Amino acid sequence: MPPQAWLTVMPWAGPLALVTIWEIAARLGLIPPHLLPAPTTVLGTAIGLAVEGTLLTDLLVSLSRAAIGFFIGGSVGFALGTAVGFSRLAEAVLDRSIQMLRSIPFVASLPLVIVWFGVAEAEKIFVVSLAVMFPIYINTTLGIRQVDPKLLELGRVSGLDTAETIRRIVLPGALPSILTGIRYALAVAWLALVVAETVGASSGIGFLALDAREFLRTDVIIVTIVIYAVIGVLADGIARWLERRLLAWHPNYAGGRRK
């Protein structure tokens, strides 16, 4: 195999070895099944849950919660970040309050949120939105502030109006930073959802895990953990794909592949 191919294969060797050792250890009875069932058992449980149980519905419920929360929190964060990035006045009015709210860990606000919304859908979406809002806000503000003033001056001497300046200079200039915010926010959204769903829910992946704990179904708990992991990786993949597409001009992201 050429060295290039080795480099793509090698990162998978570690995880694969780990799972194999785990499987063997579980099969030999070295690990008690109620603590850690074998990977094949977990896979079987997952298939069973998907075919007969509510796994797919729960997954869909969780995903839609994350998506709605991400959309709401992302929109609010982007709007606030744009306002504060452009206007010193907006910064004076808004920034201090937002920074103070940001310093509260969203988990700490959960009891209050439950008092407000109960353990209904609104609670989960609110927690996700809150968690997503801040990374998007900060990176949008930062991105806009970091736009090269020399390029803004170029816009001025080229006779661009404000709308054109924003569209052709400010937003593209802020985009790398905004995408970093999105990538971070995707991870946080997922984290927030796990927390919200394990505190109180009657559907969703978190609920599945909680329910399984009641019945000491370790295999189901592991299924939910693996699902969280897989979706986290997928979300990161989406963010990277966005970066490659939107930052194709940037050699660090696309290697200037466009000819």
How many residues touch other proteins under the rule CB under 8 A: the total is 23
Nearest residue (CB) to other proteins, 151 versus 226: 151
**Amino acid of residue 40:** T
Q: In angstroms, what is the minimal distance from the CB of 88 to other proteins?
A: 20
**Amino acid of residue 43:** L
Give the contacts of 83 (CB within 8 A, at least 6 positions apart).
90, 94
Interface mask (CB under 8 A) for other proteins, residues 231-250, using x and -? Answer: ----------------xxxx
Residue ranges in 197-226 that form contacts with other proteins under rule CB under 8 A: none
Q: In angstroms, what is the minimal distance from the CB of 243 to other proteins?
A: 13
Of the candidates 191, 147, 184, 185, which has an alpha carbon nearest to the alpha carbon of residue 166?
147
Which residue among 3, 10, 150, 214 contacts other proteins (CB under 8 A)?
150
Nearest residue (CB) to other proteins, 171 versus 187: 171
Which residue among 34, 156, 213, 240 contacts other proteins (CB under 8 A)?
156
169 makes contact with other proteins (CB under 8 A): yes
Which residue among 1, 28, 157, 233 contacts other proteins (CB under 8 A)?
157
- DSSP readout, 42-97? HHHHHHHHHHTSSHHHHHHHHHHHHHHHHHHHHHHHHHHHHHHHH-HHHIIIIIHH
Q: In angstroms, what is the minimal distance from the CB of 152 to other proteins?
A: 10
Q: In angstroms, what is the minimal distance from the CB of 63 to other proteins?
A: 32
Of the candidates 175, 218, 224, 202, which has an alpha carbon nearest to the alpha carbon of residue 50?
224
**Amino acid of residue 127:** V
